[in-house]
Amino acid sequence: MSRTYLLCPPSHFDVSYAINPWMDTSAPVDTALALRQWRDLCEALTAHGHTVHTLDAEPGLPDMVYAANGAFMVDGTVYGARFRYPQRQPEAASHEKWFRAAGWRFVAPTETNEGEGDFAYVPGPGLILAGYGYRTDPRAHAEAGEALGRPVISLKLVDDRFYHLDTALAVLDDHTITYLPQAFSASSRKMLRQLFPGAVVADEADGLAFGLNLVSDGVNVFLNAEARGMAAKLSARGFTVVPVDLSELKKGGGSVKCCISELRF
């Protein structure tokens, strides 16, 4: 099925501050390489029949390339983001402006949340899976459920290397997810086992290769090229893996999913 995505080019990408364990301000960043890799991602998406919209990057906001964090959209309604760290807070207004100009129903948040970084939608049961522990305030889960009219399952993240839900869990098709058990609290692991007994269970190597930070259209899975173990697991379950090298953008703590906001309408 064709999907519609919003991405933002890494025109001003840099690691000028550190707000997650992956960011090292002493490591050099090749912005031109990041831009080429991002374009490869866009081309992979369009080559598989998907529509890509672009949000203009703004100077002074080096993390705007991680477009998934700017909002969460279900059934044509957009629940906006409210970033935890001041370095990223201005990004929210850019996303709001884009969505309002596009004519979508936009719900401004009052609680701290980082969009699809901490929200995932499972279409089959119509469930929202919501992470908390590092970036998103759990009070935003109820706010998102009210805004979007969907039940929300709260999941606690307990490993700061997997600071957003989308680094530890991904939706593969209408009913199937993949997740990294060790990234979640014991009670959250129990809920995931009960709700998704057929899940693809990842291991630490998959997580460290950003193998959970993927985007799936239900058939094709766009995956960080480094995540070969995850690629094998997904292939064994019948998915077609589309590897994309995003090694430069990984320096900021993100990969495929971080770069992609899905527009569901």
Mean pLDDT, 10 residues at a time, the chain of 265 residues: 96 98 97 98 98 98 98 98 98 98 97 98 98 98 98 98 98 98 98 98 98 98 98 98 98 98 97
Which residue in 88, 70, 192, 78 sits closest to 130, CA to CA?
192
Per-residue pLDDT, 72 = 98
Annotated active-site residue 164? The verdict is yes
Per-residue pLDDT, 112 = 98
Tell me the residue type at 8: C
Secondary structure E strands in 12-167: 51-54, 71-74, 77-80, 105-107, 119-122, 127-132, 152-156
Catalytic residue among 8, 42, 258, 259, which? 258
Per-residue pLDDT, 200 = 98
DSSP class of residue 184 equals B
Per-residue pLDDT, 1 = 81
Secondary structure E strands in the chain: 4-7, 51-54, 71-74, 77-80, 105-107, 119-122, 127-132, 152-156, 169-171, 177-179, 200-201, 215-216, 220-224, 240-244, 261-262
* CATH number assigned to the domain with residue range 4-262, chosen from the 4 options 3.40.80.10, 3.40.50.300, 3.30.1370.10, 3.75.10.10: 3.75.10.10
Paired residues of 163 in beta bridges = none
CA 34, distance to chain mean position in Å, is 18
Catalytic residue among 8, 42, 164, 259, which? 164
